[in-house]
Chain A
Amino acid sequence: MTFTQNAARDRTAARESRRDQPQGGGALTPALGWFSLGLGLAQVAAPEAMTRLVGAGGGRREAQTMRAVGLREIATGIGILTQDRPAGWMWTRVGGDVMDLAILAGASSSRGARPERLAMAGAAVLGVLALDWLSARQESAAHDGHPAAREDGPVHARGAVTINRPREEVYRFWRQLDTLPRFMSHLEAVEPVDATRSRWRARGPMNTTYAWEAEITEDRPNERLAWRSLPGADVDNAGEVRFERATGGRGTVVRVDLRYTPPYGRAGMALAYLFGREPGAEMRDDLRALKQILETGEVTMSDAMLGRVRHPAQPDPRPVPHTSDHGRPV
């Protein structure tokens, strides 16, 4: 397997699995993301004005510091808004706030410094620090729900996608089961055993694999498919997928609901890896791949997604195996 989405997914692995509630940190986090972005842009675009605004005097050194701080804020803002795991970036903000306080304290000794303004700016940063702290705590708490840390209750992953193909076709594709690994990044193989039973194999970290048998518990053609693992599974899990006609003949809405009960110890860790990042985000990526296969016949790939972890948009230096008929490179 050279397909890098997998690599990318494996990379973020266990740390990110969230429990039950799809969103953790709440509404505060995106707001702080926007705040970071705006503040950073201001500091980069108008460092002199910003240094004056906070009362740190108007010198070149101060302006340079302000610009550097601004670049950090921009990176943090975009990081928070575009990353699946804002917790890390939120802690970056907390660290940044502490840095700002130190810079402001240092600035009070510089020429042209205005103590009242510096004090106001300091108070503002302290306020923001409190918010950041709160939000980072919330985000982290949301992540602490991953199976290695919490062993009670099932983990839920839900997702929906609209596919521009008839319901019958989408259902047929899914019902074959051995098609699932084409778009579910953590699955290696699903082999149907008989009409209702199948053997599943999934990838863990460091080339480990985990296996279980599953049985179909309900099969309403073109409408609903439900399954659950049989006793003895490395990972207890159950899932259902519903196929609904989209309005106006616009294809099929596929809704998936996966539940897995975090087992103990080794298997618990493994599960976190299996389901990659935050389960909801993982699910959305998988469903996007399903849509790509059914609508276009391949999983969309760009240069930056191949091979190594996060690298520039350049062709891969190594020969890349051509894709299989399923669209994913083999």
Chain B
Amino acid sequence: MKATCWMGKRDVRVERVPDPQILSPHDAIVRITSTAICGSDLHLYNGFVPTMERGDILGHEFMGEIVETGREVKTLKVGDRVVVPFPIACGHCLSCESQLYSVCENSNPNAAMAEGLWGYSPSGIFGYSHLTGGYAGGQAEYARVPYADVGPLKVPDGMTDEQALFLSDIFPTGYMGAELCGIKPGDTIAVWGCGPVGQFAIRSAFLLGAERVIAIDRFAYRLRMAEQAGAEPLDYEDVHSVLEALREMTGGRGPDACIDAVGMEAHGLGYALDRAKQAMMLETDRPIALREAIQSCRNGGTVSIIGVYGGFVDKFPIGSLMNRSLTIKAGQAHVQRYMKPLLNLIREGKIDPTFVITHTLSLDDAPRGYEMFLNKRDECMKVVLKT
């Protein structure tokens, strides 16, 4: 089959690789019809995630048709159309029983490696380094899906691929980011990052009852898309201090909750400073957005981190956090928890996830898709690849 392979920093290629096989009785093989490139893939692309191997198949947002099932698979049969969540979860461990699927205790065969870096291991993830399992990803023609009874969700007839695809990641991720804020009527939510994840966080915040959402980024077209959802745009390059701007916009109190939908590769006013910090051997990730989110949040508010971080950061404002009674919540999305309810929101017409798609390419054009998405060329927001 053809698959998008990571060949080194900023080098992905569509290569011929062997077809996947059933390895365990709970596996299924999916023939992929649509798949997407995620901001998380950019962290791999830019070489920020350790334990990548040349040749690793990328991709964790995909859907398609079941073409083979292992003998223990009960709920799926050949021909079913499914969308696959990016965290791999067994469904039976204590974490899975608590619906904390992205920290499943059984799905990372390289758990020992992750424990070395993080203390304990999160779940396995498709196409996302060997630290999270070394699973072949879904930017390919076929993929093997472990624990097929637990993850994949059947897509109802009449729903297009484009409507269902983002249930694999960015819609649940944005939704969880907003849900972690514990939004109450009248709340103002500030969202750092207006990429695809930020866009879904903004819309989810409104769905969950926020009265105002302030959207922060530097790309005009991304801010415009946020505005279309009803958010108030804040271009961080236009202001001296995001903290001051937010203070003013919220009448001196600060947003009730702040969502970091940027992660480890933040840009911004602190960028040069953080390079200097890195020069002093003090951090692996650039927590520019996170620092701002913490400083800007109102007393007693919540900071929700859904942007991905990999290692450690410097000048983490623990004093602000502690003295002002803030709450931090974070995580890779527990996608399985949100798929059904969000599918229903789509069916009821409460949201149409296709708004985020700006480019539809063939799988063969994946390298161009990565390059466009990274460099925000042609107002690129979300690239969907078709097989």
Contacts and interface: CB of A to CB of B under 8 A. Distances in A.
Given A35-B281, A314-B55, A302 B133 contact: yes
Contact of A303 (B20, B111, B311, B312): B20
A315 B144 contact: yes
Interface string B264-283: 00000000000110111111
Contacts of B90: 292, 295-296, 300
A59 to B, nearest CB: 17
A40 B171 CA distance: 36
Interface string A4-16: 0100000000000
A50 B130 CA distance: 30
Interface string B62-79: 000000001110000000
A292 B89 CA distance: 12
A291 B54 CA distance: 31
Interface string B22-33: 111110000000
A49 to B, nearest CB: 4
Nearest to A43: B279
Interface string B1-31: 0010100000000000111111111100000
A132 to B, nearest CB: 15
Interface in A274-330: 281, 284-285, 288, 291-292, 295-306, 310-317, 319-320, 322-323, 327, 329
Given A295-B106, A302-B124, A316 B26 contact: no
B178 to A, nearest CB: 30
Interface in A194-253: 250-251
A313 B137 contact: yes
B176 to A, nearest CB: 24
B112 A284 contact: yes
Interface residues of B, number: 62
Given A303-B134, A314-B136, A296 B147 contact: yes
Nearest to A250: B94
A46 interface: yes
Contacts of A317: 18
Interface of B: 3, 5, 17-26, 50-51, 53-57, 70-72, 90-94, 97, 105-113, 116-117, 124, 127, 130-131, 133-137, 144, 146-147, 275-276, 278-284, 311-312
Interface of A: 5, 34-35, 37-39, 41-42, 45-46, 49-50, 53, 74, 78, 81-84, 162, 164, 250-251, 281, 284-285, 288, 291-292, 295-306, 310-317, 319-320, 322-323, 327, 329
Given A82-B113, A299-B24, A312-B56, 12 more contacts: A38-B281, A38-B284, A49-B279, A284-B112, A300-B106, A300-B146, A301-B146, A311-B53, A313-B134, A314-B5, A322-B23, A322-B25
11 contacts: A38-B278, A42-B279, A84-B112, A296-B26, A296-B90, A296-B93, A302-B133, A304-B56, A304-B135, A315-B18, A323-B25
